[in-house]
Amino acid sequence: MTVTEEMRNQWRITVDYTNMTDKYLGPLGISKEALEEVRPLAVKAYNYVKANRGKDGLFMGWTELPYNQREIVADILETAKGIRKKFEYFVVLGIGGSALGPAMAFSALCHLHYNDLPRSKRRGPKFYVEDNVDPVRMKELLDVIDLKRTCFNVISKSGATSETMTQFLIVSDLLKKAGEDVKDHVVFTTDASRGNLVKISRELGGVKSFVLGDGVGGRFSELSPVGLLPAAVLGIDIKMMLKGAAYMDKLCKTHDCKKNPALVSAVLQYIAMKRGKNIGVMMPYSDNLRYVADWYAQLWAESLGKNITRTGQMCNVGQTPVKALGVTDQHSQVQLYTEGPYDKVITFLSVGSYKEKTPIPHGYVDIPDVNFLGGHTMEELIQAENKATAYALTRAGRLNYTVNVPVINAFTLGELLYYFELQTAYAGAMLDIDTYNQPGVEAGKKATFALLGKPGYEEQRKQLDGAAPDPAYIV
Ligand code: PA5
């Protein structure tokens, strides 16, 4: 579909940071002077990201994904078509950056009860993202799928992640026992050459595989085959997602904070972090967007949570992401946000037009508490509650801003993802840390290897055995 200028304008995501400013929050808000003070740093961050776009060595290959995947997209669409025809179940096996994106796009762009719909009303097979090694979850997945009619998309850049490889070992064993050829039931998404899945593919006689480019890390990979294949299997318009991302990229091509939505968000968050706002709440007012908060939590936490700057200085920076859902969490967490410690920034994801309006019928005229709702729509109600919560937080002097998503579709989801990725890249550059590494995650992975007896980790095993719980402190 061609996206006209009019469509782009209608679907343009905007950032409203009124409620971050001292004009509305008084001394607790951010003044023009404070913004001016960090402007040189923001420009430097903008220039750093611009200068290093697409550089694989710096893990910035993600910036070019909206532009350089023409052939890959064609292959993905063809493969997805075959999967839709042949299989009743599609299961993503992956974790972290290899799972959160597919789960988010599924929830954002598919029916909220997709798997419960009859096949005639679904655009693709039943869909599951298995991102844990909880043995109960694995067993109970196997209770509801039919292996012989299941395609497993094994997503792992390294092919060395214990969780994903465990899942793969289990399903391939079961497939073999069921007399199936494993390679007919799996698609790999992995590193071009380094990953173990490449070796396994060879052993199995050539598994259909997609490449996760060298310069694209897990949490920045949703617009690569990691996210695009599952999305295409679900019938999501992946070309539109990429167009939306490219549009956001275009909107952000200026170092002027007032015009670049990702840069202004990074700057505001940076100032907030420097003022001790160590918690970043993301609160989508939409069930479809609820997993955007999960995906973002990884992007923001794993990218910015670092203890050393690029020049080797100790720093311990980052902001703890908290996921909330509007309106549900108004009745659980908003009390804390309004009156608790001044340690948070709240980011609302607001929807301009929901795909359903759902009128509220009139009734019970003699009960005003109930009757006043009649004649409105549920869309009006959720939007009013969003506005009311932002207002209440602002009155209480709490930093909050709103990302306005005019309508939820593949284009705006692409915009949203690219916006948050750019925001993270700018914020990382402002904090002067390596946004793209994750030594803290690797440390846990290695300790697991040691505990499960992987050769080469004997020394670490000894250390871990020495760190066993002390009975003196067990009550
Ligand atoms: O963002 C990241 O790099 C991580 O969260 C990884 O995606 C996660 O650890 C899974 O790694 P892999 O794709 O190698 O299995």
Tens of pLDDT along 260-287? Answer: 999 999 999 999 999 999 999 999 999 9
Task: Find out whether the beta carbon of 158 lies less than 6 Å from any atom of ligand 1.
Answer: yes
Q: Which stretches in the chain have pLDDT values below 50?
A: none
Is residue 86 flagged as an active site residue? no
What is residue 130's three-state secondary structure?
strand
**Residue 166 burial (CB count, 10 A):** 15
In angstroms, rounded to a whole number, what is the distance separating the alpha carbons of residues 208 and 136?
Answer: 29
In angstroms, rounded to a whole number, what is the distance separating the alpha carbons of residues 211 and 66?
Answer: 16
Q: What pLDDT is recorded for position 303?
A: 98
Q: What pLDDT is recorded for position 265?
A: 98
Q: What pLDDT is recorded for position 304?
A: 98
Q: One of 111, 387, 445, 446 is an active-site residue; which one?
A: 445
Q: What pLDDT is recorded for position 464?
A: 81
Q: Which two tokens stand for residue 68?
A: 């350089």
Q: What pLDDT is recorded for position 421?
A: 98
Q: What pLDDT is recorded for position 46?
A: 98
β strands within 248-366, DSSP E:
279-284, 306-308, 314-317, 320-323, 344-353
Task: Find out whether the beta carbon of 161 lies less than 6 Å from any atom of ligand 1.
Answer: yes
Task: Find out whether the beta carbon of 102 lies less than 6 Å from any atom of ligand 1.
Answer: no
**Placement of tokens 């915009």 in the chain:** 415
Atom of ligand 1 nearest to the CA of 163: 15
Atom of ligand 1 nearest to the CA of 220: 1
The terminus-to-terminus CA distance of the chain in angstroms comes to 64
In angstroms, rounded to a whole number, what is the distance separating the alpha carbons of residues 327 and 335?
Answer: 13
Give me the domains of the chain, ranges plus CATH numbers.
5-55+240-431 (3.40.50.10490), 65-236 (3.40.50.10490)
Q: One of 64, 130, 222, 302 is an active-site residue; which one?
A: 302
Tens of pLDDT along 169-186? Answer: 999 999 999 999 999 999
Q: What is the pTM of this model?
A: 0.96
Please tell me the distance between residue 389's alpha carbon and the centre of ligand 1 in angstroms: 35
Task: Find out whether the beta carbon of 69 lies less than 6 Å from any atom of ligand 1.
Answer: no
Pocket test for ligand 1, best of 62, 92, 98, 100 (most atoms within 8 A of CB): 98
Is residue 302 flagged as an active site residue? yes
Is residue 78 flagged as an active site residue? no
